[in-house]
Amino acid sequence: EVELVESGGGLVQPGGSLRLSCAASGFTFSEYSFNWVRQAPGKGLEWVSYISSSLRTIYYADSVRGRFTISRDNADNSLYLQMNNLRDEDTGLYYCARDAVDTSGYHSLDNWGPGTLVTVSS
């Protein structure tokens, strides 16, 4: 069974840093691409970042580019999101989501973790 479990969230002051992790199991991690998606309290979904299975392709939303860094460790079956210079508006539940990108480049997020809560507040 596919399982994704995020960790690393917490309360941080504006300007601070956090590193989120996503532990994967139940499938061959190295064969899949991944995304981070966040959801502010009571709001909709916002796509944050993408990393390909080979690590060759990485994308970011404009709102986080230059502050967040996505990475992965295929040997450890783990996905990461390093978040620096955090702002109030970064507050939310952060989900890691597996990307079932196919050979034609079609992306869909077919499995999600339960999320980890990040609160940026002074």
Partner 1 sequence: DLQMTQSPSSLSASVGDTVTITCRASQTIYTYLNWYQQKPGKAPTLLIYFTSTLQSGVPSRFSGGGSDMDFTLTINNLQPEDFASYYCQQSYDTPFTFGPGTKVDIK
Q: Which residues bind partner 1 (CB under 8 A)?
A: 35, 37, 44-47, 50, 59, 61-62, 95, 100, 106-115
Residue 66 CB, nearest approach to partner 1 (Å): 15
Q: Burial of 31 by CB count in 10 Å (0-12 exposed, 13-18 middle, 19+ buried)?
A: exposed
Paired tokens of 117:
């809560």
Residue 6 CB, nearest approach to partner 1 (Å): 10
Sign of the C-alpha dihedral computed for residues 11, 82, 111 and 74 taken in this order: negative
- For partner 1, which is the closer residue by CB, 93 or 120? 93
- For partner 1, which is the closer residue by CB, 31 or 62? 62
Q: Burial of 119 by CB count in 10 Å (0-12 exposed, 13-18 middle, 19+ buried)?
A: middle
Residue 92 CB, nearest approach to partner 1 (Å): 13
